[in-house]
Amino acid sequence: MGDTLVQKHLFHGTQELRILDDVVKVKISKPLRGEKELDFVLASLNPEPVLKDNRLEFYGRVKCGPMISLYLNKPDPETFDAFVAELTTRIRKEYGAFTGWKDPSA
């Protein structure tokens, strides 16, 4: 299952994303800058990501900047696609559970 994604970048460091229950936990390790951990509630994310440059970005449901930004096709296209599919499905599910909204594409 695509619940975890680890992406490495030569200059930007490593980011690990893990889907747990109703949140996405993001752990970012940057060279010379240490680590940062962020949690995002799935129901607050828009399930339709935006492709920008070489990144796939998930925005909040309120118009703001990207909340989650993924390096495109890292570590490999299959793992990346599985994680994005799982994340999108879980976002829709959590939003529906939170609001009572029924996803017509489900």
CA 88 to chain centre: 8
Q: What is the pLDDT of residue 57?
A: 97
User: Is residue 12 assigned to a domain?
Assistant: yes
Structural domains in the chain (count):
1
User: Is residue 16 assigned to a domain?
Assistant: yes
Averaged over 63-69, what is the pLDDT? 88
Provide the residue type at 83 as one letter. Answer: F
Cβ 84 vs Cβ 68: under 8 Å: no
Cβ 4 vs Cβ 21: under 8 Å: no
Is 90 exceeded by the pLDDT of residue 31? Answer: no
Give the other-Cβ count within 10 Å of 41's Cβ: 15
Give the other-Cβ count within 10 Å of 31's Cβ: 10
Averaged over 20-41, what is the pLDDT? 93
Nearest CA among 70, 78, 84, 102 for reference residue 3: 84
User: Is residue 72 assigned to a domain?
Assistant: yes
Report residue 104's pLDDT band, with 50, 70 and 90 as the boundaries: low
User: Is residue 71 assigned to a domain?
Assistant: yes
Q: What is the pLDDT of residue 105?
A: 63
Report residue 2's pLDDT band, with 50, 70 and 90 as the boundaries: low
% pLDDT > 70, the chain: 91
